[in-house]
Amino acid sequence: MTRVLVSGGAGFIGSHLCDRLLAEGHKVICADSLLTGHKSNIAHLLTEKNFEFMKHDITQYIPIMGEVDYVLNFASPASPIDYYQYPLQTLKVGSIGTRNMLGLAKAKKAVFMQASTSEVYGDPLVNPQDESYWGNVNPIGPRSVYDEAKRFSEALTMAYHNVDKVDTRIVRIFNTYGPRMRLNDGRVVPNFIYQALNGLPLTVYGDGSQTRSFCYVSDLVDGIYRLLMSDVNEPVNLGNPNEISVSKFADVIISLTKSKSGKVFKTLPEDDPKLRQPDISKAKRLLGWEPKVNLEEGLGKAIEWFRDHPEINTL
């Protein structure tokens, strides 16, 4: 039985990844500082014999005894509201934290996976974005603490791969949604669902023509697991290539929730990407992966989850 360390394992994506790893028969160590993650996301796992939780900040030394076969680095604030609030922590976890996790993987002779992001492409000048695109990123803008932390994490990961021969994986994650998203994390899916369920106007920034591509979390986790079990060392995009404007997406949410909400338009934040659509040709070719859950089905599950949680009324 292999042993897997997942940093950020109490976060939205990290907790679903822990579920998948346990279902596949791995032992899982979940490390999370709980800065933006929440123990409720893994409460159902705490009695599992093959699951261990440690509250830990990976910018500090990681005391892991015994063998570790896989080291997965998913620790980082990941939404604008979080990295605006925690800019220094975001930069530290992307630099010092990534170095510590890579050092652990090297010492344990473990496979290392770095969770990266579509934000490495910045406000792209090409659409869709494939892995060969270098991006259009403002290095000192308000989003730079996250964008550049992830770009540095990728560079550090490849340096450890090339110099120290660490067996590495890099996953570039595009917009993902589903159960366990934080209602107040500032991202468009929970914002729109909350507003629609409570009869509030949906807040659309700019004229709403900017696009996003939304992937349901189970599809994403399947792609992550396939990549982890592969021998692909270079970055791979994972996301749903079905692109939709934010304004049209608001209409879909209003329809699915049967809400009487309208839309209100506000100023577009600085450096907010105008386009976001993954080219997943590499994932299809190398991993045999593509998303299966369509937008209406996935949003139905997400809306049901938010309805079933009382915090929907306490934002």
Residue 285 lies in a domain: no
CA atoms of 115 and 95, how far apart (whole Å)? 13
Max Cα distance, the chain (Å): 58
Quick one: average pLDDT of 180-204?
91
Query: If you average pLDDT over residues 11-16, what whole number do you get?
Result: 98
**Closest alpha carbon to 174 in 187, 164, 186:** 187
Residues 106 and 192 in one domain: no
What is the bridge-based pairing of β-strands 243-245 and 211-213? Answer: antiparallel
pLDDT at residue 315 greater than cutoff 90: no
Q: Which two tokens stand for residue 288?
A: 């045999």
Count of structural domains, the chain: 2
Q: Give the model confidence (pLDDT) of 125-162 as tens digits.
A: 999 999 999 999 999 999 999 999 999 999 999 999 99
Res 186: pLDDT: 81
Residues 202 and 130 in one domain: no
Task: Please give the distance of CA 176 from its chain centroid, rounded to a whole number.
Answer: 7
Question: Does 74 lie in the same domain as 47?
Answer: yes
Among 85-94, 235-244, 249-258, 300-309, which stretch is predicted with the lowest mean pLDDT?
300-309
**pLDDT > 90? residue 313:** no
Do 25 and 93 belong together in one domain?
A: yes
Distances (CA, A) of 42 to 12, 178, 207, 246, 269: 10, 15, 38, 31, 33
Instruction: Tell whether 34 is covered by a domain.
Output: yes
pLDDT digits (tens, 9 = 90+) for 261-309: 999 999 988 878 888 999 999 999 999 999 999 999 999 999 999 998 8
pLDDT digits (tens, 9 = 90+) for 77-131: 999 899 999 999 999 999 999 999 999 999 999 999 999 999 999 999 999 999 9
Q: Is residue 283 included in any domain, yes or no?
A: no
Q: Is the pLDDT of residue 183 over 90?
A: no
With a cut of 80, say whether residue 63 has pLDDT above it. yes
Least confident of 11-25, 112-126, 174-188: 174-188
Q: 187 and 105 in one domain?
A: no
Q: In the numeric block, which tokens belong to residue 22?
A: 């346990």
Kindly list the catalytic residues: 146
Q: How confident is the model at residue 314 (pLDDT cuts 50, 70, 90)?
A: very low
Domain hosting residue 202, numbered range? 178-213+242-276+293-313
State residue 310's pLDDT score.
56
At 184 the pLDDT is 76
Does 148 reside within a domain? yes
Mean pLDDT to the nearest integer, 63-75:
97
